[in-house]
Structure 1
Amino acid sequence: MSNAKRALIGCGLVAGAVACFLLGMLVSQRAEQGQELLHPPAASKPSSSPAGRRVYSPGIADDPYVAQQWRQSVEILERRCREAREFCTEARAARRQFRDRE
C-alpha cells in the first residue's frame, strides 16, 4: 500500500470520527431538550423543604450525616485514649466541642 493511500485512509478515518462525534453531540442535545419538555427540571418546582443533603450549605454542623461522622470520630479518639493512652487531650476537647454543639 502506498503512502498516498495510507494518508487518504487516515484522513478518512479522522473525518469519520469527527462526523460521528458531532452527530452524537447533536443527538444528545435533542434528547436532552426532549426530556426537559417532558419533565421540567426540579429547580423550577417550588419546594418547601429540599430533598436530601444540602452539600453546599453554610450550616454544615446541622447536617445529620456530619454530626454522625463527628460522633464516630470522637468515639474513636476516646477509645484510643482508653486503650493506648494517646490523644487524650484531643479526645476530651473533641467531646467538649461535640457536647457544646448539641
Structure 2
Amino acid sequence: MNKTELVESVSDSSHLSKKDVQAVLDGFLATIGDSLKKGEKVALVGFGTFETVKKEARTGRNPRTGEALEIPARTVPKFSAGKSLREAIDLAVGSGES
C-alpha cells in the first residue's frame, strides 16, 4: 500500500474527505519527523515506537571492486512494532489471511 492508497482507505473507513485525510497524514508524518530530528522518541501504545539510533563509523567494502572504504557515523530512524501490532500480524499471517 502506498500513501495514496492509504489516504483513500482511511477516507473510506472514516467518512472524511481525501483532502482532510491527506492533511492529517502529512501533519502526522511531519510531527514524527520533527520529533526524531530533535532526538525524541515517539511511542504509539499498541502500535509501535519510532526512535533514532546512532550507527558508528566503520570500514566497508565496495561490492563491485572489493576496495575498502570508510562508512561515516550517522543517525538513522528505527521503528519497533508494539506488542498488539506484532500479535495482530502473527495471527493474520499465521492463519493464512492476507
Q: Normalising to structure 2: TM-score of the pair?
A: 0.27
Structure having the higher helix fraction is: 1
With structure 1 as the length reference, what TM-score do the two structures score? 0.26
